Structure 1
Amino acid sequence: MTRLLTLAFAAMFLLDPRLAVAQDAQAGKRVFNKCSACHAVGPNAPNKIGPQLNGLFGRTAGSVEGYTYSPANKQSGITWTEETFANYIKDPRGAIKGTKMVFAGIRNEQEVRDLTAYLRSFAADGEPQ
Structure 2
Amino acid sequence: MSGDLKFNKILGAGLATALVIIGLPLVTGAIYHSEAPEKMGYFVDAPEEAAAGPAEVVLPPDWGTLLPAADLAAGEAAFARCQACHNNVAGGANGIGPNLYGVVGGPVMHAAGFAYSEGMAAHKGVAPAWGYDEMDQFLTNPGKYVPGTKMSFAGIRDTATRTNLIAYLRSQGSGGMAIPAPDPARQPGAAPAAAPAEGAAPAADAAAVAADPAAAATPAAPPA
Whether TM-score is above 0.5 comes out as yes
Residue matched to 1:97: 147
State whether residues 54 and 122 of structure 1, in contact with CA within 8 Å, keep that contact through their aligned partners in structure 2. Answer: yes
Match of residue 36 from structure 1 = 83
Higher relative contact order (CA 8 A, sep 6+): 1
- 1:112 maps to 2:162: yes
Structure 1 gaps, min length 5: 1-17, 125-129
TM (normalized to structure 1)?
0.76
Cα deviation per residue 1:59-95 (whole Å; 9 max; x = unaligned)?
2212310100001102212210111101000100000
TM-score (norm 2): 0.45
1:25 matched to 2:72: yes
Alignment correspondent of 1:59: 106
Match of 1:81 among 131, 136, 139: 131
* Matched-pair contact (CA < 8 Å) for 1:89–1:106: yes
Q: Distance in 2 between matches of 1:51 and 1:38?
A: 8
- Identity of paired residues, percent? 35
C-alpha distance in 2, partners of 1:71/1:63? 15
How far 1:107 moved relative to its partner? 1.0
Partner of 2:173: 123
The whole-number CA distance in structure 2 between the counterparts of 1:57 and 1:75 is: 19
- Ranges in structure 2 where 5+ consecutive residues have no aligned partner: 1-64, 175-224
In angstroms, what is the RMSD of aligned CA positions?
Answer: 1.7
The one-letter code of the counterpart of 2:170 is R
Query: Between Structure 1 and Structure 2, whose CA radius of gyration is higher?
Result: 2
User: 1:90 & 1:68 partners in 2: Cα distance?
Assistant: 23
How many residues are matched? 106
1:55 and 1:63 map into 2 onto residues whose CA distance is: 9
- For residue 32 of structure 1, report the CA deviation from its aligned partner: 0.2
Kept in 2: contact 1:54–1:119 (CA 8 A): yes
CA shift for structure 1 position 58: 1.9
d(CA) in 2 for partners of 1:82, 1:26: 19
